[in-house]
Amino acid sequence: MGETGMAYELREVSFAYHPAHPVLHEITLSIPSGSWVSLVGPNGCGKSTLAKLLGGLLAVNGGTVDVEGTPLNRDTVQRLRPRIGMVFQNPDNQFIGATVEEDIAFGLEGRNLPREEMVTRVREYADKLQIGHLLPKHPAELSGGQKQRVAVASILAMEPGIVIFDEASSMLDEKARGELLAILREMKQSGRYTMVSITHDADEILASDRAIVLGGGTVAADLTPGELFRNETLMADCRLIAPYRIRLQQELKRRGVPFPVGLGRVGDEEADL
């Protein structure tokens, strides 16, 4: 039931939409069960492509993607796909049902669950995502943030071992983005999910365990969020802006001013900024 998340093992993964233009070249990478990885990099470097390979929406041209020791391929993809949830950028494109309740139930319909269990599960995940009161609503009645919470509820109701967020918060306002981040943090804390998020949001990166920087079709860097934020070249390449407190710390250090006690630091790894 995905109680501890499912691990990824990528070996020399290559992919091209057109043979003349390779996008990813021999990527080797481990994502341990229950960990949360941020995938960052310049525009067009292949983040979404890698997310689709991880989600089984695209097939590799070379190498292997193992999910919990099973290679993701034509023979296994049907079985593994329901264990891998994906949340995309545009909340409108993900709504399938006529109501929130139908939308969350939709993915469960192929599972042959007894009707009562299905209703209980829809209610359980709607409550977890604090959208229980929205169950009878039509998508047109919801805000972008509410629609993204429905998308997450629909996926979590399937009890996946892996959830991939592809710029899931980028179309949301600041409040909704904060709410989605709180959900991601809770998911991480539960230990039930392995998570991959493609994001430009510094707070989201900071909340993850590790940042993988894609560049030149391969893994250009694999480091902690603190290390990434300290690396001004990588930050600029990836068009990322560090969280405010870290920028403040850096600016004070540049000017030789000690960081004021009591302002708090962002994670232990920032101690030597």
Ligand X SMILES: Nc1ncnc2c1ncn2[C@@H]1O[C@H](COP(=O)(O)OP(=O)(O)OP(=O)(O)O)[C@@H](O)[C@H]1O
Footprint on this chain of ligand X (rule: CB under 6 A): 17, 23, 41, 43-49
Nearest distance from C-beta of residue 72 to ligand X, angstroms: 18
Q: How many CA atoms lie within 13 A of 89 on its CB side?
A: 9
Given the complex with ligand X, which of 44 and 69 has the nearer CB atom?
44
H or E element that contains 205: helix 202-207
Given the complex with ligand X, which of 44 and 114 has the nearer CB atom?
44
Given the complex with ligand X, which of 21 and 254 has the nearer CB atom?
21
CA separation (Å) from 132 to 87, 91, 153, 241?
A: 20, 18, 10, 35
Nearest distance from C-beta of residue 76 to ligand X, angstroms: 23
CA separation (Å) from 41 to 24, 109, 211, 213?
A: 13, 37, 10, 5
Cα gap 63→77, rounded to integer Å: 16
Given the complex with ligand X, which of 11 and 52 has the nearer CB atom?
52
DSSP code per residue over 243-267:
-HHHHHHHHHHHTTPPPPTTS--SS
Nearest distance from C-beta of residue 63 to ligand X, angstroms: 17
Nearest distance from C-beta of residue 44 to ligand X, angstroms: 4
